[in-house]
Amino acid sequence: MPDDSLHVNINTSGNDANSYQAIVIGSGISGGWAAKELCEKGLKTLVLERGRNIEHIKDYPTMNKAPWEFKNRGAVTKKMLDENPLISKAAGYDDTTQHFFVKDKDHPYIQEKPFDWIRGYQVGGKSLIWGRACARWSDMDFAMPARDGYGIDWPIRYKDIAPWYSHVEQFIGVCGIRENIETMPDGEFLEGYELNCVEQHLKEVIWDKFKRYYASGRWAQVTDPNEIQKKQGRYCLNRNLCMRGCPFGGYFSSVTSTLPWAKATGNLTVQPFSVVHSVIYDEQKGKAVGVRVIDANTKKATEYFADIIFVNASALNSNLILLNSTSKRFPNGLGNDNGVLGKYICHHNYRTGCGGTFEGYRDKYYKVSKPAECIIPNFRNVHKQDTDFLGGYVIFSGAYREKMSERGLSSAIGADFKKGISEPGGWGAYMYLQGETIPKETNHVRLSRDQTDQWGIPLLVTSVDYDDNDDKMVKDFLEQGKAMLEAAGATITYEYDNHQAPGLDIHEMGGVRMGKDPKTSLLNEWNQLHHCKNVFVTDGACMTSTGNQSPSILYMSLTARAVDHAVNELKKGNL
């Protein structure tokens, strides 16, 4: 039930002053897209962000700093580690980017099982610090769970989302090379990054000896801007300093792209420091009518009202909000008649990698520090289950030349040392896993019954772990990864399974999953709650399974598709 002890502030002008046609909870990758699409379609839209405001360029304090301008050249200090043992493990976290990550103390949660929840609370959310991989899912990603019996069937297939992938790609800018790969469909690409000499060698060997692809990565980088990206004022200089915030808008984020586009319509209101407590359900109207918000600074509660509500707070926070949205009709959380809300949380398996060194190629280098990796698309269980594990995986890979030779590191001081460190070293290559994990009812989140955060909202309890399927996938990757590197002539210098806790992949998914049957899912094929049709969930919480490709561009595409449906239904009077 709603917490009646909260003092709710209604504007003295009445509900109308707090009313919009649409409310979007969250301003990150999917929330920004919801805002853009809703505003372009003419709806007055309120975007609620629990963190601070971020303005493009103005709020990128480290964007142009050289390494020597940081006290420890960007390295994490002991004080930062001691104060943030969790967040400091995140990929990309250091002194140059720490301002975009949530400090451990600022939003506690309860780890029933180890789970590293990586968060970015600011306008733009984690779109400011994401990895930017944007390969499309194939039809097999949607079909595999039901086909092989490890999950419920997705209510959509690739043909349903393909035009929305194109819609998103043309706007945000995705680089890539069209290669006609069955398990990684082509998209609307800007100029792709060329492979360097060792990557090209790997590509040729891996195809010749394994009949597997080694492809230039599909990345949200504006390599050669089209007219839409030019209107956004975006271009890329290949500085590869993306996570600091890019003054050129070289990579896609809500701050550089979707939110400014939405603002230009005159229909957007963005309200930072707005912690969403719950979605308000009206028993008499039989639908959601708004959201209850707590000011992050004053702790005062305010209610806002709208015809359509998009929940895009990021997967776990979206679960938290819906679980906390209780009423007489929904005592266990909004839309949660089947008890599935918060269950079947899953993630990507990033635990393992390997690498090696190459002889030769000493007469070759490469021109840019490209902000994209290469991808070996999934080659496991493609048309049927043909391994001892379920699901598939992709491999991210790249080749590099050491910045200095061994001679440079071991030289004496003086001129010989300077000469040594000016000479590049040998070549190396790496591979690491991004593996599908199996949705399980036991992997779940729930609300604490007795602990709350500083805004009076129940703490989230995470209970997510690996299983035997993950171990088998790790074993297979290590065998195949090393075999491919060795076939190309590499000397393997490392391999690992670090058993890192779930969460560091930052690809948490599920809990409010899509499905055909309201008995086993929360959302229909349009991302609507089955039992509350004017509430849409299009961030990672909506995912029925994880697939093996990175999910962010799928969230964006699902969001654009859902908005199109929502607005059409609103016009018809069905919402």
Residues 138-166: pLDDT tens digits? 999 999 999 999 999 999 999 999 999 99
Asked if residues 114 and 464 have their Cβ atoms less than 8 Å apart, the reply is no
pLDDT at 425: 84
pLDDT-based confidence at 403, cuts 50/70/90? confident
Residue 1 lies in a domain: no
Q: Any residues with CB less than 8 A from the CB of 55 and at least 6 apart, and which?
A: 255
Parent domain of 460:
8-571
Residue 414 lies in a domain: yes
The answer to whether residue 256 scores a pLDDT higher than 50 is: yes
The answer to whether residue 410 scores a pLDDT higher than 60 is: no
The answer to whether residue 486 scores a pLDDT higher than 90 is: yes
pLDDT at 439: 97
Q: What is the average pLDDT across 548-565?
A: 98
Q: What is the average pLDDT across 78-105?
A: 94
Query: From CA 373, how far away is CA 199, in angstroms rounded?
Result: 10
338-352 pLDDT tens trace: 999 999 999 999 999
The answer to whether residue 4 scores a pLDDT higher than 50 is: no
SS3 185: coil
The answer to whether residue 67 scores a pLDDT higher than 50 is: yes
pLDDT at 418: 76
The answer to whether residue 406 scores a pLDDT higher than 90 is: no
- pLDDT above 70 coverage of the chain, percent: 96
Q: Is the dihedral of CA 528, 530, 533, 537 positive or negative?
A: negative
pLDDT-based confidence at 476, cuts 50/70/90? very high
pLDDT at 454: 96
pLDDT at 412: 58
The answer to whether residue 524 scores a pLDDT higher than 60 is: yes
Residue 470 lies in a domain: yes
DSSP class per residue in 27-71: -SHHHHHHHHHHHHTT--EEEE-SSB---TTTT-TTTT--GGGST
8-25 pLDDT tens trace: 554 434 577 899 999 999
pLDDT-based confidence at 109, cuts 50/70/90? very high
Residue 437 lies in a domain: yes
SS3 243: helix
pLDDT at 13: 45
Q: What is the average pLDDT across 179-197?
A: 97
Query: From CA 184, how far away is CA 168, in angstroms rounded?
Result: 17
Q: Any residues with CB less than 8 A from the CB of 516 and at least 6 apart, and which?
A: 152, 153, 155, 524, 525
Which range has the worst mean pLDDT, 423-432, 459-468, 535-544? 423-432
What pTM was estimated for this model as a whole?
0.95
pLDDT at 411: 53
Query: From CA 166, how far away is CA 177, in angstroms rounded?
Result: 15
Residue 392 lies in a domain: yes
- Greater model confidence, 558 or 71: 558
Number of domains in the chain: 1
Query: From CA 72, how far away is CA 78, in angstroms rounded?
Result: 11
Q: What is the average pLDDT across 342-369?
A: 91
Q: Which of 19-28, 82-91, 369-378 has the highest mean pLDDT?
A: 19-28
- Which CATH number goes with the domain that contains 436? 3.50.50.60
Residue 2 lies in a domain: no
pLDDT at 409: 56
